Structure 1
């Protein structure tokens, strides 16, 4: 931003037409930088103020669908590279003890991470299933993939493979999963894409009975085409 401001100061010596060109370009750059700073501050705030989970019975499929659906207005912008969404959600899927708001935040970050990995478009695959008494969630992309070293450091706070990243998105996801006594892992192949896998227990320690009925599930998914938006 300092360079942009300096360019504006120098532009005072230009004629009116040239100054207007520099002014418009500089203000657009400043707006983009401020938006990025706002995102960074928001993620730092999210990471530092992660609340303790409030467990209720949750339909994981519904939370995952809603996390994806929120971004659809951005995904369908004209001129953006397209991403084909392929959902393979087991139905019925056992309900679990979870905090729906924290789970939504984790799924949201996973989907955004997958979108960022496919700037030229690709396929976003969503899977849910029951595995050894747990509920498994997988979010996969067909981006450029990651090296083994990158995979080993992904969940380290402030580590990022993105030019404008904060290194907090995946750390937030890991924190949410850990607070739910679950596990998260990543597999990746360079040139073919990356898959994140979360496994969550159906019951949390000390939880008895059914705190409340989960929200009604959304309508059944069908494959659809989305357009990716860069972070």
Structure 2
């Protein structure tokens, strides 16, 4: 079935479980359909054409690639959704950013709210929702850095807005990076690299790891 899903929906399955699976979403693909005919293609639309019972447990921004969990029944959806809501899922992201951080690691605490709708842009606002991101520098290049990111909350555009707020916009970001930088790259360099959580049915620890889709 995993091979059939990969063949028909064009998606890679990273973990297969009788009650759920973890797939890899490519950059540029919506997690679920948006409004209007130009936003009808999405990961869940493609998957449900092969396995209609599957449902999204969580989402990724369109431009972000990486691991997504899907449930195969309502009971599983409720169980896994509860793990995400209770912040019992450990999430690891990788990002290549413009510039160099001032330290090896750090924390970003910033309340975020939507500041504009077209395009959707989030930023600091006193009435925004509290957001927390942990980061660590993995590699320094000549004018860029690679960071490991652990979001403790899961808000829209959280990682992108947080990194931009500390002067480290994600490479290829059309919203938060300076235009001269974002236009010179084909995609956003932000990837959901790892997921870890307890199987709600067996209690075993599930660890799923992806690979970076860029060099």
TM-score of the aligned structures, taking structure 1 as reference length = 0.23
Point out which structure has higher relative CO (alpha carbons under 8 A, 6+ apart).
1
TM-score of the aligned structures, taking structure 2 as reference length = 0.24
Larger radius of gyration: 1
